[in-house]
Every structure is written in structure tokens, then in C-alpha cells.
């Protein structure tokens, strides 16, 4: 986003609040009006004022779409009814016979839609060692048309070198899609690292308050933008005006929320690392984490998501049952701390053998620290860990 008078580019912290031309031209309202309408009166045959029908385009949604395009540095943004609707629409750019390479540890729903839906339409996938660009080089056959990455990838927070993978993919004309849900454009900007398309679950940090489900996509070139606009309208999984408003509102406080989320995550990771009941901590913000170096090259910091494993001799049911402040729930990225058990919750749709092979053990616990006082979060964890000792 640029200053209209001087042309100077505003910093991201400013763009979070003002990006997407948020002031309503009609009334001067500084908060985006909710255009709760399905259709728009036309001035004559073939004459409209920029909008015809709210599946195709809606003024509230348009502000959000321009805002996310600006934040990610793309040419166009698209808002969908969920992260999965965004991912499904982006995957619809491909056709029967095409192959998609995916990160090991890709989001469970992404795996499920590829394995149970797109496979039926002849779009197939192969799982990649997303920490080794050599594996990508070996797996790019002529039918590979896209590479879908997450970094850090859920739930082991494995880091992929987005720049290195994009370079290898582009040698063969493969489209690079990055799911940036865990980092958001405040912490990581995949298009600048070489990706072609960014997707988001807006349900998580962007919304930030666990009060809506939404998805976003941003593309880097005009041709893909036109194709995705066509698919968004043709398949119809669009975000509603009220939810678009909520997401715009959430994005305004993204950087202040994330600063606190990250600070809390770091303190909690340090606490867990020094806890003798914990066998392993997965957090790319710790210097001891195998992903630390690459993550530091491509992201502002390690983000706010972490996972850990309790040593043998702990009863997980008792652990989850003993938490008072932290809720056992799916999802992440809200102001309140949430904890989940990936093998039975978020990653249950991944077959057991694949789950075990990639390291999602039954003892793994994923934590999304909220922005509460970190000492209260740590006290809650500490008590639950002690009470879970058998
Ligand atoms: C939650 C999530 C999704 C799916 O988003 P929904 O809004 O739940 O449909 C996709 N990718 C990642 C990394 C997620 O965490």
C-alpha cells in the first residue's frame, strides 16, 4: 500500500490497518460497511457500478481481497467460506492427469481433499520430504504441475526452505503454492520467496478471535488471477459480507496480537525444554530446533505454534482433563490458548501408518498459546503435566 500523494510505500503495520482502501467513499465511514446484499441494481443493460451479484463480487469482500493481496504482495486476493474452500478452489486450477507434490505433515484437511476428492477426478498427489530439495528434484516428473508447501508444517513444525524449493520447482515450470496460515504475511511473505500462490485459513491468526471460519488466496500474476476469479465465481465458495467484515477487523490487530503470541510461545517453549517430564519440543523459534536456521532466513521469527511430547509414564487423558485455562479444541491462532491431540483430532484423517511414518505419535501434544499472561499459561501446563504422571 502506497501513500497516494507521495507514492511512498507504507510499512506492513500501517497496511494492516489501511490496506484495501477501507474508507467508504459514499459516507466517509472509517470502518468498512457490511454490504449485506445479494444483488445490485443495474443502471441499464450492461451498465453496473462495479458489482452485479455477490457471488461474483461484493464491496465488503472486495476490501478484504484487496487488503490480503496488498499484505502478501500479490496482484489479486480472493476470499472464501473457509480455508478448505480456498485450497479446493486453488487445486481446481489443475486437471485430470496432473500430479501435485505435497509437504510431509501437510494440514489434515488438505491431505483429505486430495486423497478422497481430487483423486477421484484424476488429480493425484505424492508426499515429499519437505526438508530435502533433492527429494523434490527426484520426484518432479512431467506430470507434476504443482507443489503445495506449509512452513512451519503442522504439527511437528517442520521447516521447508521456500526459496530453494521454489527454485527447483520453477526449473520445471511447476506452480508453487504455500499455505501461510501458521505465519501470516506479518511473519513470512512466500510470494517474495518465490511462491506463485499463497493460501490461508483466515480462521486462525488473521481472524484471531476464534469467531469465524474463512479462507483466502493471493496470486502473483494476472493470468492466474483471472483463472482463479473465474473458478471462485464458478464454484461459489465465497466469504459472506459479515464474515469479510470480521476478518478485516481481525487483521487490523494482527501485528500486536502476534507479537504477544510469539513472545508467549517462546517463553513456553523454553519452559517445556527445561521440564524433565517433556521428551521433545518442536518449535522453530528455539535455536536448538533443526528448522531454526532456515526459518530465520525466511521468516521474522519462529511463529507461535509449538508441539511437545510427554515422556512415557504420563496419562494423556489426565493431562488434557487437568487443564483449567487452556481449552482442548481443534483450531489455533485465537487470543485464547488452545491445545490439541493431533493423532486423534487434527490429523485423524491421515492413515495411521503414514501418521507414524512422519512422526505424529500418540504422545504428541500441539499448543496454540493465546495472548493471556504467559505465567498463567505455564502454571496451567505445569500442573496438568504433574497430574498426568502415572
Ligand atoms: C485450519 C487450516 C486449514 C483449513 O482451514 P479452514 O478454515 O478450517 O477450512 C488449512 N491449512 C492450515 C495450515 C490450517 O491450519
Q: Is 204 a catalytic site residue?
A: yes
Assess whether 107 carries a catalytic annotation: yes
How sure is the predictor about 78, in pLDDT bands with cuts at 50, 70 and 90? very high
Is-catalytic flag, 277?
Answer: no
pLDDT digits (tens, 9 = 90+) for 115-126: 999 999 999 999
Residue 84 burial (CB count, 10 A): 20
Ligand 1 atom nearest to CA at 86: 9
Active site residue 53: no
Identify the structural domains of the chain with CATH numbers, from first to last.
12-252 (3.40.640.10), 255-387 (3.90.1150.10)
Q: Which three cell numbers stand for residue 147?
A: 507443489
- Residue in the block written with cell 507434490: 101
**What is the model's pTM?**
0.96
Residue 29 alpha carbon to ligand 1 centre in Å: 32
Average pLDDT over residues 69-77: 98
Give all strands of the β-sheet with 197-201 in edge-to-edge order: 76-80, 215-219, 197-201, 175-179, 144-150, 99-103, 124-128
| Banded pLDDT at 25 (limits 50, 70, 90) | confident
From ligand 1's centre to the CA of 334, what distance in Å?
Answer: 13
Shortest-distance Cα residue to atom 2 of ligand 1: 201
pLDDT tens-place string over residues 331-372: 999 999 999 999 888 788 778 888 888 788 888 999 999 999
CA dist list (Å): 35 to 28, 56, 185, 203, 249: 15, 14, 26, 21, 15
Q: Which of 221, 209, 364, 352 is nearest to 280 (CA)?
A: 364
Interval 250-274: pLDDT, tens: 999 999 999 999 999 999 999 999 9
Using the mean position of ligand 1's atoms as its centre, give its distance from the Cα of residue 87 in Å: 9
C-alpha cell at 268: 513456553
pLDDT the model gives residue 362: 86
Amino acid at each position: 500500500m502506497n501513500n497516494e500523494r507521495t507514492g511512498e510505500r507504507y510499512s506492513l503495520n500501517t497496511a494492516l490497518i489501511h490496506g484495501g482502501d477501507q474508507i467508504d467513499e459514499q459516507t466517509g465511514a472509517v470502518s468498512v460497511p457490511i454490504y449485506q446484499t445479494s444483488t445490485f441494481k443495474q443502471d441499464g443493460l450492461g451498465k453496473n457500478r462495479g458489482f452485479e451479484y455477490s457471488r461474483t463480487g461484493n464491496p465488503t469482500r472486495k476490501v478484504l481481497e484487496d487488503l490480503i493481496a496488498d499484505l502478501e504482495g500479490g496482484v489479486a486476493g480472493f476470499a472464501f467460506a473457509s480455508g478448505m474452500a480456498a485450497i479446493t478452489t486453488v487445486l481446481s486450477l489443475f486437471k485430470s492427469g496432473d500430479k501435485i507434490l505435497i509437504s510431509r505433515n501437510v494440514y489434515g484437511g488438505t491431505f483429505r481433499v486430495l486423497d478422497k476428492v481430487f483423486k477421484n477426478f484424476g488429480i493425484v498427489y505424492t508426499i515429499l520430504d519437505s526438508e530435502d530439495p533433492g527429494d523434490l528434484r527426484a520426484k518432479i516428473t512431467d506430470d507434476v504441475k504443482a507443489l503445495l508447501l506449509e512452513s512451519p508444517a503442522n504439527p511437528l513444525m517442520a521447516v521447508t526452505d521456500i526459496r530453494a524449493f521454489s527454485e527447483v520447482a520453477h526449473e520445471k515450470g511447476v506452480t508453487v503454492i504455500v499455505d501461510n496460515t501458521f505465519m501470516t504475511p506479518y511473519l513470512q511473505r512466500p510470494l517474495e520467496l518465490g511462491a506463485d500462490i499463497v493460501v490461508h485459513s483466515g480462521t486462525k491468526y488473521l481472524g484471531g478471535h476464534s469467531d469465524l471460519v474463512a479462507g483466502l488466496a493471493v496470486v502473483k500474476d494476472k493470468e492466474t488471477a483471472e483463472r482463479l476469479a473465474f473458478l471462485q465465481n464458478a464454484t461459489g465458495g465465497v466469504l459472506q459480507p459479515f464474515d469479510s467484515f470480521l476478518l478485516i477487523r481481525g487483521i487490523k490487530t494482527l501485528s500486536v496480537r502476534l507479537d504477544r503470541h510469539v513472545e508467549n510461545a517462546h517463553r513456553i517453549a523454553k519452559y517445556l525444554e527445561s521440564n524433565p517430564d517433556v521428551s521433545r519440543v518442536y518449535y522453530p523459534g528455539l535455536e536448538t530446533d533443526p528448522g531454526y536456521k532456515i526459518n530465520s532466513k525466511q521468516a521474522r521469527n519462529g511463529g507461535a505454534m509449538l508441539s511437545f511430547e510427554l515422556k512415557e509414564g504420563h496419562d494423556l487423558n489426565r493431562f488434557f482433563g487437568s487443564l483449567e485455562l487452556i481449552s482442548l479444541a481443534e483450531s489455533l491462532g485465537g487470543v485464547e490458548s488452545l491445545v490439541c491431540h493431533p493423532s486423534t483430532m487434527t490429523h485423524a484423517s491421515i492413515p495411521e501408518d503414514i501418521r507414524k511414518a512422519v512422526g505424529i505419535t500418540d504422545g504428541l501434544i500441539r499448543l496454540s498459546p493465546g495472548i493471556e499472561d504467559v505465567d498463567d499459561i505455564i502454571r496451567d501446563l505445569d500442573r496438568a503435566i504433574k497430574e498426568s504422571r502415572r
